[in-house]
Amino acid sequence: MTTGLHMSNVTKYYSEGSNKIAALDQVSITISPGELVAVVGPSGSGKSTFLSVAGALLKASQGEVNISGQELSELSDRELSTIRLNEIGFIMQSSNLVPYLNVLDQLLIVKRMSGKVKSADKEVAIRLLEELGLGAKLKSFPEALSGGEKQRTAIARALINDPKVILADEPTASLDTKRAHEVVGLIAKEVKSRKKAAIMVTHDERMLEYCDKVYRMEDGKLTAV
């Protein structure tokens, strides 16, 4: 069975008037469990579309996207929603925390989306937050957190359902250099220790040292650097 994330000859078209624009053009990539891959490239090159297709948010126009042996094009919208919840962890550039939830509840709300929150879920969430250095912040709300703490909370939230794939979109965009290194170092550590297949889209060349492979995207085409 295929593990990790595999994309084969993926093309994504958008219609512009009577024209078809290829936002992704025959993209192929394989990311194995425990591997952190960076994708760099200018704005408008197709990076956001690439992440959206990899994350089952958009369907490819052509080609195959496979997560741990499941071919996404064969799944219904409901099945894709389940894949997004259970198999994919998203880390966004602005942490995207819910302002009225404390740090612990940011994780438990993800569990609640899958059904009832059990006491074992709470224990897992607390242990995960402690591991990421947030043990003293369980009851803190986002407004009381630093930028680095918000992103660490977002990393914990991405990991809470033990997904197969982690997708990080510019996770250092709002951080200073020290915090950026802390956050990406942490993502790399968790990806390796938990055997996740991970993609990080970034403009931040300083962060590439943490990645196993680097790809460049330009005009919808993906090439290894």
* CATH superfamily, domain at 5-224: P-loop containing nucleotide triphosphate hydrolases (3.40.50.300)
Q: Residue 29 has what pLDDT?
A: 96
- State the pTM of this model: 0.92
163: closest CA among 67, 58, 70? Answer: 67
With H, G, I as helix, E, B as strand and everything else as coil, classify residue 150. helix
> What pLDDT does 203 receive?
86
Domain segments of the chain: what residues?
A: 5-224
Q: What is the pLDDT along the chain (225 residues), one digit of tens a residue?
A: 457 999 999 999 988 888 888 899 999 999 999 999 999 998 889 999 999 999 999 999 999 999 988 899 889 999 999 999 999 999 987 778 999 999 999 999 998 887 888 899 999 999 999 999 999 999 999 999 998 899 999 999 999 999 999 999 999 887 888 989 999 999 999 999 999 999 999 988 889 999 999 999 999 999 999
pLDDT computed for residue 2 by the predictor? 58
Residue type present at position 104: L
- Classify strands 19-31 and 35-40 as parallel, antiparallel or unpaired: unpaired
Mapped onto helix, strand or coil, the DSSP state of residue 93 is coil
- CA 204 distance to own-chain centroid: 16
Residue 9: the pLDDT is 97
Asked if residues 222 and 39 have their Cβ atoms less than 8 Å apart, the reply is yes
| Beta strands 165-169; 197-201: pairing state | parallel
Q: What per-residue confidence (pLDDT) applies to 117?
A: 86
